Structure 1
Amino acid sequence: MLGVMASKTIRKIRRKSWCTFISGLCSLVLLCLFSFNNQHLFRETWDSKKNPSSKFYSRPLEMGYHYRNLQNVIHYGNVSQIQSGVISEGTLFKEQLKHDDPRRSKTLTEEAKVSGKTDKLYSMDMEKERKRRLPQAIIIGVKKGGTRALLEFLRVHPDVQATGPEPHFFDKHYHKGLEWYRMLMPETMPNQLTIEKTPSYFVTKEVPSRIFKMSNSTKLLLVVRDPVTRAISDYTQILSKHGGKIKSFQSSAFLNNDTTKINTSWIVIRIGLYVKHLENWLSVFPSEQIHFVHGENLVTNPGEEMKKVQNFLGLKQFITEQHFLINKSRGFPCIKKKITNKRGHCLDETKGRKHPKLPADVISSLKRFYRPYNEKFYQVTNINFNWI
């Protein structure tokens, strides 16, 4: 009995040994084959004669559909550097693709041509659309009311382009024609608004009809401030230009130095008769096309005034109170092109000049003179500017 069991056990061990032996032999053969193929592949990949390093690095990735999106980033031609060092000039992508797959190369080349033509046509269209246009909006006045500040604030808006110097076309150079005027305008895109300012337009009788003839849809901006303060500011500017060698304010503002008799022929006084000049404009333009900017509020609360201006001009609300900071030495607002800027663009020193101190009776006489005109102006504009 024991002999039979021993015989069976020996036979089982022999069978398992042969299986183990055969399995090991197969594994050894497979390992040899894999090692041979791996060495062959290694030699084929790095053979310096067949595959130089420049060719290896210049082979394009399988970009598929995304290739067209990347062609503006990865240019055909050279591969300059790859992390570890400088790599020699690579072969052209399209030449490499021809070697790999001619049909794929042809497809990508055609895509590149189409995309290139599209980019070129787009650039050409953009250039064609950029042109000098007649202004859609004009700051018509008033002098020393804050027109320069308003223009500089509007320049910050990305959809606004403005002239530099005052054109004075509709009052002084009208005989030169609209083409001459148009050439003074900045180049703009169709979605941008062209604007100019000439404060003397407001007091020139011929200007409203001339602007209307150019375009009956022109939007007009009028910046007004207390006429008494405006007159003194105007005189201060004239005084600085003439080095102080002009008559006193009183001798020019009053007839025979009599404070009860105002000299309305003096332009400094006449400009402040806002309602008289406005009647001339309203005889040509509807009131909806004229926006009145509160000059005092433009200084103390520029964000609020600019919100109203942007609404009137049909612009997106880009300029806000965050764009402004106050120049403490002059008490005048400066505007930042970007909210994140620490400094802003301030108007030159000619703005915010110190006014000469006038006698109290002169100020009182001027206020009495302007009061009835101011009240009528409030009625016509439906705005109470609170000028005392």
Structure 2
Amino acid sequence: MMCEFVSSAVDLKHRSSCIQCSKVCGFILLLVFITASYMLSSERKTLLFALYPLEEDLSEDALRDVVRSIAAKVRFRARRVPDVSELIRLEEHMFSVVPQHFLPEVKNPCWFEELRGNVSTDPYGSNLFGRSFRQIQLIFEQLSGSFRQRLTRHDGKLQRLRCLPYFYIIGQPKCGTTDLYERLRLHPDVRLTLPKEPHWWTRKRLGIIRSGERPHTRFPLDHYLDLFDPVAFQVLQSLLGNSSSSIITGEASASTMWDNNGWLYLHGNSTGAEPPWLVQDFIGALQPEARFIAVLRDPVERLYSDYLYFGTSNKSALDFHQKVCESLRMFEGCLRDAGLRACVYNGTLNHAMSVRLQVGLYVVFLLDWLSVFSRDQLLVLRLEDHASNPALSMNRIFRFLRLGALSDHRQRQISKRPASNTRRASDRDLGPMRPVTRELLTVFYSPFNQKLAEVLRDETFTWDTHITSRLREPVDHS
């Protein structure tokens, strides 16, 4: 059996009892998932998976049928991009804070904001990032002491310089974003936020502190902008010295590319099965010239790395296999009644799946980003290429960000830096995933990888996937 739950060393009677118990537990979990789906949906049509019978077939052939069924249902459809007026209606404060045009003599998107109220009070005292991160609190305490020195006066009014990121490292998790972040920090013209991943656009803007939780207090845009005050001060010094500034800032929230799970909480469930507004719609309306970097990895390997990194206890190749089987069945059940985008962005389904299958469906997210931004605003890299030749990939990034030339010493310092956030020794000891698990995932991701390679015009993004002829079926790429 493909998803066997007990060792063959256990006697038959005890094994039968355990299997029956597992099925009962599974049935209870499915009922909980159904209830959650109904709570988040006002119409039955948004219940995005079918209930499987207790005596479902868990054989290898049955699970191969599941991934074949998924491949047969894959359809890539263009999305409707909302008008800016719709976005302003939803986030009026955001658009009242950020101007339509930024300072022309500054490379980074910055502007002067009129300061109102009592300037003697601590401007960072109520910042929710400071309350959540001790490291940020310490930075804010230092900035607070020099706050008045960072103010200018124009037409009798006090102003402070505000900045947004020039670029975003948008994804994906377990694809080398930490390593890229650490190397970029070594460039003399680059300033990156602490923390590395504010997760403001995808989560904290909606009041979601940790993925999967319900919203609490929403982090205002002003609190997010405070994270860029250190670079704003440096830019201001250049302006006061009557010189232009080439300094740029960025952030590296690996959720930005894919995580729209919180849209139902903010926008309600009366708009249909898929989100009518995505994170990139808001960024695009505020920063139409922004630049983005995505690092991708063989999605099969990414999923296993994700499981090893975020899993808590009882991690094993067998446990991973079982979770993959369960999640594939849930995803296939969703596709029976809904479109691909509706399933990929369905937060209830994503939180119910025990492994994050949807994160590796890169092309779905990429196509949606390309519905807002031009192709030359997105740099898409493979982790495999970055790991094998970091000097080459970093030079590509520097050119993409329009950064100046570096000295040979600084280039060596950046390219020779040891890799960051590599797999823990305890996780390496668990060994590789099972061959049958790899086979199922390879078939599952194949149509998405093929479409990704087509969009990027680069066959290496198929990750040299080998699909046996008995498993392949035609896929509609329209």
TM, length-normalised to structure 2: 0.46
> Which residue in 1 is equivalent to 2:32?
none
How far the C-alpha of 1:249 sits from its partner, in A, is: 1.0
How far the C-alpha of 1:177 sits from its partner, in A, is: 3.0
Distance, in Å, in 2 between the alignment partners of 1:180 and 1:146 is 27
How far the C-alpha of 1:176 sits from its partner, in A, is: 2.9
Distance, in Å, in 2 between the alignment partners of 1:268 and 1:291 is 24
User: Cα 1:214–1:364, aligned 2, differ >3 Å: closer, same or farther?
Assistant: same
Identify the match of residue 347 of structure 1 among 420, 438, 442: 420
How far the C-alpha of 1:279 sits from its partner, in A, is: 1.8
> Given residue 452 of structure 2, which amino acid in structure 1 is its aligned partner?
F
> Given residue 347 of structure 1, which amino acid in structure 2 is its aligned partner?
S
> Which residue in 2 is equivalent to 1:176?
219
> Given residue 165 of structure 2, which amino acid in structure 1 is its aligned partner?
P
Structure 1 position 143 matched with structure 2 position 173: yes
Query: Deviation digits for residues 308-329 of structure 1, max 9, x if unmatched?
Result: 11111101232879845xxxxx
Identify the match of residue 390 of structure 2 among 296, 302, 307: 302
> Given residue 302 of structure 1, which amino acid in structure 2 is its aligned partner?
P
> Which residue in 2 is equivalent to 1:233?
305
> Which residue in 1 is equivalent to 2:337?
none
CA root-mean-square deviation = 3.5
Identify the match of residue 371 of structure 1 among 436, 446, 450: 446
Identify the match of residue 383 of structure 1 among 458, 466, 476: 458
> Given residue 324 of structure 2, which amino acid in structure 1 is its aligned partner?
A
How far the C-alpha of 1:345 sits from its partner, in A, is: 5.5
Q: What SS does the aligned partner of 1:201 have?
A: coil
Distance, in Å, in 1 between the alignment partners of 2:315 and 2:418 is 33
User: Cα 1:322–1:159, aligned 2, differ >3 Å: closer, same or farther?
Assistant: closer
> Given residue 154 of structure 1, which amino acid in structure 2 is its aligned partner?
L
Distance, in Å, in 1 between the alignment partners of 2:407 and 2:307 is 32
How far the C-alpha of 1:383 sits from its partner, in A, is: 2.1
Q: Single out whichever of 169-178 and 249-258 deviates more from structure 2.
A: 249-258
Query: Deviation digits for residues 162-187 of structure 1, max 9, x if unmatched?
Result: 01221111011224332211101232
> Given residue 225 of structure 1, which amino acid in structure 2 is its aligned partner?
R
Structure 1 position 244 matched with structure 2 position 314: yes
Question: Is the 2:179–2:421 Cα contact (8 Å) retained in structure 1?
Answer: no
Structure 1 position 281 matched with structure 2 position 369: yes
Query: Deviation digits for residues 267-293 of structure 1, max 9, x if unmatched?
Result: 521111111111221121121211102
Distance, in Å, in 2 between the alignment partners of 1:249 and 1:203 is 22
User: Cα 1:153–1:179, aligned 2, differ >3 Å: closer, same or farther?
Assistant: same
User: Cα 1:350–1:133, aligned 2, differ >3 Å: closer, same or farther?
Assistant: farther
Query: Deviation digits for residues 192-234 of structure 1, max 9, x if unmatched?
Result: 0101011111113421112113311110111101101111110
Distance, in Å, in 1 between the alignment partners of 2:388 and 2:189 is 25
Distance, in Å, in 2 between the alignment partners of 1:256 and 1:222 is 25
> Which residue in 2 is equivalent to 1:201?
256
Distance, in Å, in 2 between the alignment partners of 1:216 and 1:149 is 27
How far the C-alpha of 1:256 sits from its partner, in A, is: 8.7
Question: Is the 2:189–2:247 Cα contact (8 Å) retained in structure 1?
Answer: yes
> Which residue in 1 is equivalent to 2:105?
none
How far the C-alpha of 1:344 sits from its partner, in A, is: 4.2
How far the C-alpha of 1:306 sits from its partner, in A, is: 0.8
> Which residue in 1 is equivalent to 2:473?
none
Distance, in Å, in 1 between the alignment partners of 2:327 and 2:247 is 52
TM, length-normalised to structure 1: 0.56
Structure 1 position 361 matched with structure 2 position 431: no
Structure 1 position 254 matched with structure 2 position 325: yes
User: Cα 1:320–1:275, aligned 2, differ >3 Å: closer, same or farther?
Assistant: farther
> Given residue 256 of structure 2, which amino acid in structure 1 is its aligned partner?
Y
Alignment of 1:2-151 (within 5 A): 133-151=163-181
Structure 1 position 215 matched with structure 2 position 280: no
The percent identity for this pair of structures is: 28
Higher-Rg structure is 1
Equivalences, count: 248
Distance, in Å, in 2 between the alignment partners of 1:371 and 1:254 is 17
Question: Is the 2:308–2:315 Cα contact (8 Å) retained in structure 1?
Answer: no
User: Cα 1:348–1:379, aligned 2, differ >3 Å: closer, same or farther?
Assistant: closer
How far the C-alpha of 1:131 sits from its partner, in A, is: 5.4
> Given residue 386 of structure 2, which amino acid in structure 1 is its aligned partner?
L
Distance, in Å, in 2 between the alignment partners of 1:235 and 1:309 is 29
Distance, in Å, in 1 between the alignment partners of 2:371 and 2:201 is 17
> Which residue in 1 is equivalent to 2:131?
none
Higher relative contact order (CA 8 A, sep 6+): 2
Distance, in Å, in 1 between the alignment partners of 2:424 and 2:296 is 16
User: Cα 1:321–1:269, aligned 2, differ >3 Å: closer, same or farther?
Assistant: farther
Question: Is the 2:324–2:437 Cα contact (8 Å) retained in structure 1?
Answer: no
Identify the match of residue 405 of structure 2 among 310, 314, 317: 317
Distance, in Å, in 1 between the alignment partners of 2:283 and 2:250 is 13
Identify the match of residue 191 of structure 1 among 242, 246, 266: 246
